[in-house]
Amino acid sequence: MTNGADGSPLTLAFPDISDLEIELVSDVLRSGTLALGPFAQEFEQRIADLTGRKFAISCSSGTAGLHLAIRALDIGEGDDVITTPFSFVASANCALYERANVVFADIEEETLGIDPDQVAARATDATRAVIPVDVFGNACQIERLQDLASDRGWRMIEDSCEGLGTISNGRQLGSFGDISVFAFYPNKQITTGEGGMVLTDDPALAETLWSLRNQGRDSDTTWLRHIDLGYNYRLDELSAALGVAQLRRFDELVERRSRVAGLYDEALGGIGWITLPHAAPAATVNWFVYVIQVDPGIDRDELARLLAKSGVPTRPYFSTIHLQPYYRSRFGYKPGDFPVAERVASRTLALPFWNAMTESQVGRVADALRTAGPAAAASNGS
């Protein structure tokens, strides 16, 4: 494997695939059951057990899962959904799919999650749901948001697509929403290639989610009876087998990820112009990405260019959703609308981060940062 070894090019992310994953995926190929088989069920059971939830329903991506959540909660035209502009675009798009209004509320600097006070300030009579996001794997103020939602009679969809394995106040992320959603794209904490999972404790919601994922089928009757406008959002067996292997190794994966985060904390701790990622109070974070913030005196984009030139790929994480071209042209958002999210977005940089990174690879990134930082500051003229 090229990316585990010293001297090989650095990459932003790399999946942690062992012989077990290869074995289980091969088993699926040999079995002939490539869809609707036992691995999807085992995968669902393992995620339910890990998060302590009653129902887990696998699906074809995190985005599909968020869409299922919106549909299952019957959110649509005329409904407001409050979410964060500092996220991956899918956490807002899911409401637009069903013609609901996306209402953004700014974030707090501490956790980079949506600010509960801003959520309260943006609420109207049309508010039906809030979609908090566990940004980079960190916990947002999920309990406060949960209280707010239950006080106001809203539903909470927890976008925990970046949060698998993080524990907040003794509870796994993904255990808080009326519906919670995970994603398993190759750069996430575990991967199925493409894939996702929706979770709930409510049997009626679980049944609806299951049905919508399966072409609107009626779970009680024959396979070709459709009681709703559904989708094919199922996860295939090859992907599910990959997910099962990753979950059988889950403790090991968490431990390997935390080792690399620890190496970075140590290597970068002495660099004054860098703010390290830090866990929310009472959270043990299984980081999705390792994202630093650079001081305002550093030109972040120039820094990224210099790092790329020295072989260190990085990425600004995230570009805010409201300033994406589609959102600007459709809704007229402009810079300044969500100042905290925009300020943070202008200073973040995701560093190469994968489980097999060695101390010397982390050291290379740290050295490149130490060299490039002052140069990026000078060219900024500050």
Question: What is the nearest approach in angstroms of ligand PLP to the Cβ of residue 181?
Answer: 7
Q: What radius of gyration, in Å, describes the C-alpha atoms of the chain?
A: 21
Q: Which is nearer to ligand PLP, 16 or 159 (CB)?
A: 159
Structure tokens at 228: 């709703």
Q: Which is nearer to ligand PLP, 62 or 230 (CB)?
A: 62
Q: Which is nearer to ligand PLP, 185 or 368 (CB)?
A: 185
Q: Which is nearer to ligand PLP, 58 or 355 (CB)?
A: 58
For residues 268 and 276, the answer to whether their CB atoms sit within 8 Å is yes
Q: Which is nearer to ligand PLP, 130 or 369 (CB)?
A: 130
Question: Which residues lie near ligand PLP (CB under 6 A)?
Answer: 61-63, 87-88, 90-91, 133, 159, 161-162, 183, 185, 196
Residues 20, 24, 25, 30, CA torsion sign: positive
For residues 264 and 290, the answer to whether their CB atoms sit within 8 Å is yes
Residue 124: other Cβ atoms inside 10 A: 9
Q: Which is nearer to ligand PLP, 90 or 369 (CB)?
A: 90
Q: Which residue is nearest to ligand PLP (CB)?
A: 62
The answer for residues whose C-beta is within 8 angstroms of residue 49's C-beta and 6 or more apart is none
Residue 309 known to be catalytic: no
Question: What is the nearest approach in angstroms of ligand PLP to the Cβ of residue 27?
Answer: 24
Question: What is the nearest approach in angstroms of ligand PLP to the Cβ of residue 39?
Answer: 18
Question: What is the nearest approach in angstroms of ligand PLP to the Cβ of residue 357?
Answer: 20
Question: What is the nearest approach in angstroms of ligand PLP to the Cβ of residue 91?
Answer: 5
Phi-psi group of 381: left, alpha or beta (phi > 0 → left; psi -120 to 50 → alpha; rest → beta): left
Structure tokens at 292: 């630093």
Question: What is the nearest approach in angstroms of ligand PLP to the Cβ of residue 87?
Answer: 5
Q: Which of 54, 188, 309, 334 is catalytic?
A: 188
Measured in degrees and rounded to the nearest 5, phi and psi for residue 125 equal -65, -20
Largest Cα span, the chain = 70
- Kindly provide the b/e burial profile for residues 156-177, where b requires at least 16 CB atoms within 10 angstroms of the residue's own CB: bbbbbbbbbbbbbeebbbbbbb
How many alpha carbons fall within 13 Å on the CB side of residue 265? 10
For residues 193 and 214, the answer to whether their CB atoms sit within 8 Å is no
Q: Is 199 helix (H, G, I), strand (E, B) or coil?
A: strand
Q: Which of 192, 149, 196 is nearest to 174 (CA)?
A: 196
Beta strands across the sheet bearing 283-284: 171-172, 167-168, 283-284
Question: What is the nearest approach in angstroms of ligand PLP to the Cβ of residue 105?
Answer: 16
Q: Which is nearer to ligand PLP, 87 or 214 (CB)?
A: 87
Q: What is the set of active-site residues? A: 188
